[in-house]
Amino acid sequence: MADVLRDLLDGRWAEVRRGSLELLGKLEPAGELGREEYRAWVLEQMRALAAGGHPLIGFPAEHGGRDDVGGSVVAFEVLGFGDLSLMVKAGVQWGLFGGAVQALGTREHHELLPAIMSMDLPGCFAMTESGHGSDVQNLRTTATYDVEAQEFVVHTPDASARKDYIGSAARDGRMAVVFAQLVTGGTSHGVHAVLVPIRDSSGAPMPGVRIEDCGPKAGLNGVDNGRLWFDGVRVPRSALLDRYGSVSADGEYSSPIEGAGRRFFTMLGTLVRGRISVAGGAGSATKKALTIAIRYGSTRRQFTRPDSGDEVVVLDYLAHQRRLLPALATSYALHFAQEELVSALHDVADDRAQRELESRAAGVKAVSTWHATATIQACREACGGAGYLGENLVAGLKADTDVFTTFEGDNTVLLQLVAKGLLTSYRDHVGDLDPWGMARFVADQVVDVVIERTAARAIIDRLVSGSSDALLDRGWQVRQFEDRERHVLEGLARRLRRATPENAFDVFNTAQDHVLHAARAHVDRVVLEAFVAAVDRCPDPEVSALLDTVCDLYALSTIEADRAWFLEHGRLTAARSKSLTQAVNQLCAGLRPHARRLVDVFGVPEGWLAAPIIG
Amino acid sequence: MADVLRDLLDGRWAEVRRGSLELLGKLEPAGELGREEYRAWVLEQMRALAAGGHPLIGFPAEHGGRDDVGGSVVAFEVLGFGDLSLMVKAGVQWGLFGGAVQALGTREHHELLPAIMSMDLPGCFAMTESGHGSDVQNLRTTATYDVEAQEFVVHTPDASARKDYIGSAARDGRMAVVFAQLVTGGTSHGVHAVLVPIRDSSGAPMPGVRIEDCGPKAGLNGVDNGRLWFDGVRVPRSALLDRYGSVSADGEYSSPIEGAGRRFFTMLGTLVRGRISVAGGAGSATKKALTIAIRYGSTRRQFTRPDSGDEVVVLDYLAHQRRLLPALATSYALHFAQEELVSALHDVADDRAQRELESRAAGVKAVSTWHATATIQACREACGGAGYLGENLVAGLKADTDVFTTFEGDNTVLLQLVAKGLLTSYRDHVGDLDPWGMARFVADQVVDVVIERTAARAIIDRLVSGSSDALLDRGWQVRQFEDRERHVLEGLARRLRRATPENAFDVFNTAQDHVLHAARAHVDRVVLEAFVAAVDRCPDPEVSALLDTVCDLYALSTIEADRAWFLEHGRLTAARSKSLTQAVNQLCAGLRPHARRLVDVFGVPEGWLAAPIIG
């Protein structure tokens, strides 16, 4: 039974997943190290990953890679079972830095890929500035073309334009992909990326480059985040990553994409893999925390039963089940949603699919990382004081994953992108990154809210059309998710239609909670559909029955969490809402005997689970 | 205006509060230190606090103290603006260790108090064991009287009986108050406390004592938590803290309190100050995080407004206000509830008041510490990536306060104590610590649910009797809180009445979510009443009007968070529930211009607010 379930979880990239687990299993946890030692340890493990072939997966075959984009995300996800600083450092090097060189550069730049893969060229992805994090379109660093010298001059105009929080900048990075406003002949062409050497071979900063260490962080202290300032640093014309915009020797700018906005979004879009990877890494960390908390909860006893005189295993308490089992069900749901997202990334065929992918990635990233924060917190508390000790690992998971809700896009901003995509039906890139663009768009358009079923369309159609009103009827559950999404979106479109160019900000802002709710309802539905499709493709009736119950728990606990909305909108009667809570309690009790197996099958390598409380 | 508000917040112990703020202002943050250096730094600051008179406040005048129990809690609370390891270490030394010697010991033991106050005798409070944390009644360490030698033999019978997580055990402690089952002549008399020297003057463990370091923790790494094992360690008969139970030279046990259970609860009851202190410390840490997040949110800008071309200050976004302002309102509410709790502790007159105090302390501690965890998390996210950097302080607050939901009583267990107190009307100590005792009690009794107004009874009566049904009518708000509490409790009593000795666990367990909800509803109401009373005693109309709005936001956001219950029970119509959400949004907008002033008046010393993002 465990094998069938594991195969289902392993999914389309089972082979990559197993290979990566094997590689991870060869590494060992760092133990307690000071910050500098920890950074050195991480760098060493990076070389071990490189030697083990980890970075090859996603890079092009012509440079020795395996051209497996989806596989590269799955391999990254597996690293989330191990050391999270290592995972993030790998993401910086091969995902962000290497990914940008590959996606934004052209032939000449791609010559760097072998050195990037092998870690001979450690690099940085220098996008965020102190003054502009979410609003990257308005970055202030400049790359000005000097036609005489045929060079770009990279410059930090003021304090708020320093590059901030840049992974690998403080210690290891030699080269940075610097995002800057490209200026030729006095005209700005919007944000582009330029390759800038930041350290020489001795490790000293290059002339004109100032580097500062961001210092200790809440977690991820094995990653050397730093700040960069450029004082008129000159790089050759060829340093521009010029796939989407190039400058001729005499300073003529050209681009295959018209409009600075569209161009920038296209460039950003090529980096969508980072967001999907973070969602996957968050998923792995959450699974690991659940594995620890549920194993501990299955053996830890407290308070003596009056009837038998035995002490009660804490996972037998309803409150303990409530804390952990709906979260476990959600982790299953997100696992299957993640698999679909990775497939969508791997198979993306056209522009509309790309924009839908970007929106879905934003939504799943936001929901997965908030789920990680909440669930790992619950696991910490469920382990009591022991959960606070470093040796029991949950504390580290909590500290390391906390920033996931912020990096690769602040979750609140990301959910706004999701709503924007829904309201515009992914029609090109509407306006700018600012969130009220959607208000202006909606005001000018007739918006048809259409719920497009994503996964397993035929199965869902069948479930819905034949559904009763029983709480455990999957068709009923799906209808609730769809109905909420449609209704919330329609209401939002009506509100935003009042926008004029003058009041767009205010109209948007008073509806901002509505915007976030609409996005959330959409993501919930997409996640449920992915889970439904996974249950449907399960070949074993026993496993399928178990997953069915897990899916019920996900669906009903999600509706329960938002049941005020369903009550307010006449979708649930008071009596039915109360019975929903009872149903969730019963599902928790029903899954209790299977909890241990449901986490064991996640397959966290035992070497990375060496917590004394579960030893 | 700020002065009036500050006076109101300073309250009954204004003088102590100001003195403690001054003392704290003389200390300086530790900066980045390794674990051992940090522990040494904390010990040094402890001596500075001792030299500054901090510990004197709560101890008896006859030993040089000031006999101000309430003041000692307020002074502890102030430490929560500074270094939280220092605060916790102070709590261990003067609250737990010194407090136990004072409360459980008699004249001879009190001779130790001067050395405890001065830090010449650093000590431990050795209650928790690895196997028994919440269920302290079933601790397994033994203190067996040897009548020949007139000594107690303190012994750790097995691995799960090791003392765990003991503050000051790993490095500094010389003496421990060890909680153990007291055995004389083969008979156990339940848990008592015995003074056991654990290190000699050179710092080496005493013979028979084994000590282990708990190692790195998620936070509070300046506190040296450790584990203790006793291998037949002998201490003189006088080592027993014998206020509530003594052993004569020939081994005769006697106690002023009949019944091991009642005796144990009386002993625990004397330690209630610890829980109240943790609630206060959590409150301070939360205020500090809110101060940072709201100051930052008032200056940080992101995304350009289409109408003016200015970048928007992030606290102008509804979603940002939603994250921070209801939490700020709740911090105000809890501040006033804490002040009342401290007064109740200071003035406690009889047994019933003592039991009510214990219940209230449990409830306020649970709600305050969960509020801290959630709010500091929100502050971290509201500060974006900058909130994750050590230098900006929020990350440290998050890490340090995380365990507050667990120590001094696991919050889930504490809320069950609250429910038990309500259902039994604080009738003596019912049964044991186990949570299903309340089910057995209720089954045997007629339970009258009576909502007893706590603070400002007359004001509340007036508000309620003259109230309309407007959302902003305080009387209406109070009625909602009271009505919910009564209804939830009555329903719970009905469910628990089904209990028999055989099914008590199951009846309790299937109702456990209901139990927790009942406790929560009660605490919410007590907190609202405290806030109402504070607004009423405000002498300045302008300040009073502002606080009124803050109180509205607390009341309505609390109802909103549980509006599903109000809808399910016919207390809110769908339309009214939706208008509640609108009202909360409007209150947020209304408080936005005052947000900065509302946090500044908390008075966190600027030296402890040296975060670059608000510099």
Closest CA to A517 of A568, A554, A574: A568
From the list A303, A318, A385, the residue facing B512 with the nearest CB is: A318
Please state the length of chain B. 615
Q: Looking at the partner chain, which of B384, B502, B516 has a beta carbon nearest the beta carbon of A319?
A: B516
- Chain B touched by A33 (CB under 8 Å): no
B215 closest CB neighbour out of A34, A389, A512: A389
Residue B528 backbone dihedrals phi, psi, to 5 degrees: -60, -45
The answer to whether the CB atoms of A385 and B403 lie below 8 A apart is yes
Do the Cβ atoms of B410 and A581 come within 8 Å? no
Q: Check residue A431 and give its pLDDT.
A: 62
pLDDT at B432 over 90: no
B561 touches chain A (CB under 8 A): no
Return the closest-CA partner of residue A90 out of A77, A104, A71: A77
Contact state of A435 with B406 under an 8 Å Cβ cutoff: no
Averaged over successive runs of 10 residues, the pLDDT of chain A (615 residues) comes to 93 98 97 96 98 97 96 98 98 98 97 98 98 93 98 98 98 98 96 98 97 98 98 98 97 94 90 96 98 98 90 97 98 98 96 93 98 98 98 98 96 96 79 74 74 79 90 97 96 93 92 97 97 96 97 98 98 98 98 98 97 95
Interface test with B, best of A128, A320, A322, A403 (most B CBs within 10 A): A403
Asked if residues A121 and A175 have their Cβ atoms less than 8 Å apart, the reply is yes
What integer pLDDT is reported at residue A601 of this predicted model?
98
Q: Using CB atoms, which residue from A34, A316, A406 is nearest to B34?
A: A34
CA-nearest of B184, B102, B98 to B147 is: B184
The whole-angstrom separation of Cα B42 and Cα B51 is 14
Q: Nearest 10 degrees: CA dihedral of A416, A418, A424, A430? A: 60
* CA angle in degrees (0–180, nearest 5) for B23-B25-B28: 110
Could you tell me if B414 and B364 are in contact, meaning their C-beta atoms sit under 8 angstroms apart?
no
Scanning B303-332 for CB atoms below 8 A from A yields 303-307, 311-312, 316-319, 322
Q: pLDDT digit string (tens) for B99-150? A: 999 999 999 999 999 999 999 999 999 999 999 999 999 999 999 999 999 9
Q: What is the predicted pLDDT for the residue at B160?
A: 96
Residues 262-281 of B with CB under 8 A from A: none
Q: Which residues of B touch A580 (CB under 8 A)?
A: none
Distance CA B201, CA B213 (A): 19
Residue among B97, B85, B88 at smallest CA distance from B271: B97
Q: Cα B18 to the chain's mean position, in Å?
A: 21
* SS3 call for B246: strand
Architecture of domain A272-447+469-614: Up-down Bundle (1.20)
> Residues of A numbered 481-500 whose beta carbons fall under 8 angstroms of chain B's beta carbons: which are they?
none
For residue A245, give both structure tokens: 């915009």
A342, A348, A394, A393: which is closest to A365 by C-alpha? A342
**Among A175-179, B460-464, B576-580, which stretch is predicted with the lowest mean pLDDT?**
B460-464
* pLDDT recorded at residue B259: 87
pLDDT of amino acid A433: 66
Q: How far is A308 from chain B (nearest CA, A)?
A: 9
B592 interface with A at CB cutoff 8 Å? no
Cα A434 off chain centre by: 21
A residues 207-226 closer than 8 Å to B (CB) = 214-219
* pLDDT classification of B80: cutoffs 50, 70, 90: very high
Residues B289-320: pLDDT tens digits? 999 999 999 999 999 988 888 999 999 999 99
Cβ separation of A384 and B133 shorter than 8 Å?
A: yes
Asked if residue B466 lies in contact with residue B459, where contact means CB atoms within 8 angstroms, the answer is no
Cα–Cα distance between A333 and A287 in angstroms, integer?
12
Cβ contacts (< 8 Å) between A131 and chain B: which residues? Answer: 301
Q: Smallest Cβ distance to B322: which of A128, A396, A513? A: A513
How many Cα atoms occupy the beta-carbon half-sphere of A60 within 13 Å?
14
What percent of chain A is helix, strand and coil (3-state, nearest 5)? Answer: 60, 10, 30
CA-based end-to-end distance of chain B = 25
pLDDT value, residue B433: 65
Q: Where are the alpha helices (DSSP H) in B27-97?
A: 35-51, 69-79, 84-90
Residues of B in Cβ contact (< 8 Å) with A385: 128, 133, 164-165, 403, 406-407
A216, A373, A390 ranked by CB distance to B215: nearest = A390
Q: Are strands A163-166 and A226-230 parallel, antiparallel or unpaired?
A: antiparallel
Q: Where are the beta strands (DSSP E) in B67-201?
A: 123-126, 142-146, 151-155, 163-166, 175-184, 187-197
Tally of CB atoms within 10 A around B365 = 31
User: What is the homologous superfamily of the domain A124-264 according to CATH?
Assistant: Butyryl-CoA Dehydrogenase, subunit A, domain 2 (2.40.110.10)
A-B contacts (CB, under 8 Å): 202
- Is residue A74 within a helix (H) or strand (E), and if so which, with residue range? helix A69-79
- Can you tell me the distance from the alpha carbon of A28 to that of A195, in angstroms, rounded to the nearest whole number? 34
> Could you say which of B133, B501, B574 has the minimum Cβ distance to residue A568?
B574
* Confidence at residue A271, expressed as pLDDT on a 0 to 100 scale: 85
- Identity of the amino acid at B577: S
Which of A395, A406, A440 has its CB closest to that of B385? A406
User: Which superfamily is assigned to B123-259 in CATH?
Assistant: Butyryl-CoA Dehydrogenase, subunit A, domain 2 (2.40.110.10)
Where are chain B's structural domains?
Answer: 2-118, 123-259, 272-446+462-614
3-state secondary structure B535-594: HHCCCCHHHHHHHHHHHHHHHHHHHHHCHHHHHHCCCCCHHHHHHHHHHHHHHHHHHHHH
Which CATH architecture does the domain made up of B272-446+462-614 adopt?
Answer: Up-down Bundle (1.20)
Q: Given this chain, do its domains A124-264 and A272-447+469-614 carry the same CATH topology?
A: no
Answer for the pair A118, A133: CB distance below 8 angstroms, yes or no. no
Burial of A77 (0-12, 13-18, 19+ CB in 10 A): buried
**For the residues of B269-297, what is the DSSP string, one character each?**
HTTHHHHHHHHHHHHHHHHHHHHHHHHHH
Residue B363, judged by CB atoms within 10 A of its CB (0-12, 13-18, 19+), counts as buried
CB B22 within 8 A of CB B350: no
Cross-chain Cβ contact A135/B513 below 8 Å? no
Report CA-CA distances (Å) from A609 to A143, A325, B235: 47, 20, 41
Q: Is A564 on the interface with B (CB under 8 A)?
A: yes
Query: CA of B411, closest CA in chain A: separation in Å?
Result: 9
Using CB atoms and an 8 Å cut-off, which of residues 385-404 of chain A contact chain B? 385, 387-391, 395-396, 398-399, 402-403
Closest Cβ–Cβ partner in B387, B391, B505 for A215: B391
* pTM (two decimals): 0.97
Helix and strand numbers (H, E) in chain B are 23, 13
Any idea which architecture A2-118 has in CATH? Orthogonal Bundle (1.10)
- B120 CB-near residues (< 8 Å, 6+ apart): none
Work out the number of other CB atoms within 10 angstroms of the CB of residue A21.
Answer: 17
CA of B63 vs chain A CAs: smallest distance (Å): 35
By residue count, chain A amounts to 615
Tell me the one-letter amino acid at A50.
A
Q: Is the pLDDT of residue B466 over 90?
A: no
Predicted local distance difference test score (pLDDT) of residue B615: 87
ipTM: 0.97
Q: Is the dihedral of CA B115, B116, B121, B126 positive or negative?
A: positive
Locus of tokens 């334009």? A161
Shortest CA distance from B416: residue in chain A: A319
Q: A563: which 2 tokens?
A: 């049941």
Give residue B524's pLDDT band: very low, low, confident or very high (50, 70, 90): very high
Indicate the residue type of B248. Answer: S
How many H helices and E strands in chain A?
23, 13
Whole-number pLDDT of residue A383: 98
